[in-house]
Structure 1
Amino acid sequence: MSDRETLKAELKKLSAKALQAKMDLHDLSEELPINWTSIMVVAQEAHDAYAELERKSHDLRSLEKT
């Protein structure tokens, strides 16, 4: 598998992970004030998922430019 194909496969998995993190954050917001103590944990997970997705997207764009 080429680097490009590997990155695309990783991006697909990361996109699903980020979407799930977004949904978890959304679900938590609808349940508030129940579980309000988990806001920071759930938000950090969503932040990390999207940050990783953005990094890998940048890597793929860089690879495709060369």
Structure 2
Amino acid sequence: MSDIETLKAEIKKLSSKSVGAKMNLHDLSEDLPINWQSILEVAQETYDTFKALEEARGKLKALEAATA
């Protein structure tokens, strides 16, 4: 499997994970003030997931530009 294909597969997984993280954050916000103690944990998980997704997309873009 090429590096580009590997990154595309990783991006697909991260994209799916980011949707789940976004929904967890959304659900938490709707239930406030219940479970307010988990705001930081859920927000950090969401942040980390979207950061990883953005970084992977950047790597893919750079790799595709380098091979073009």
1:16 is matched by which residue type in structure 2? S
Partner of 2:17: 17
CA distance in 2, matches of 1:34, 1:5: 42
Structure 1: 4+ residue segments shifted above 2 A: none
Which residues of structure 2 form unaligned runs of 5+?
none
2:24 is matched by which residue type in structure 1? D
2:9 is matched by which residue type in structure 1? A
Q: What SS does the corresponding residue of 1:33 show, helix, strand or coil?
A: coil
How high is the TM-score relative to the length of structure 1? 0.99
CA distance in 2, matches of 1:47, 1:2: 28
Sequence identity percentage: 61
Which residues of structure 1 form unaligned runs of 5+?
none
How high is the TM-score relative to the length of structure 2? 0.96
- Give aligned pairs, total: 66
CA distance in 1, matches of 2:19, 2:46: 9
Equivalence map 1:1-66=2 (5 Å): 1-66=1-66
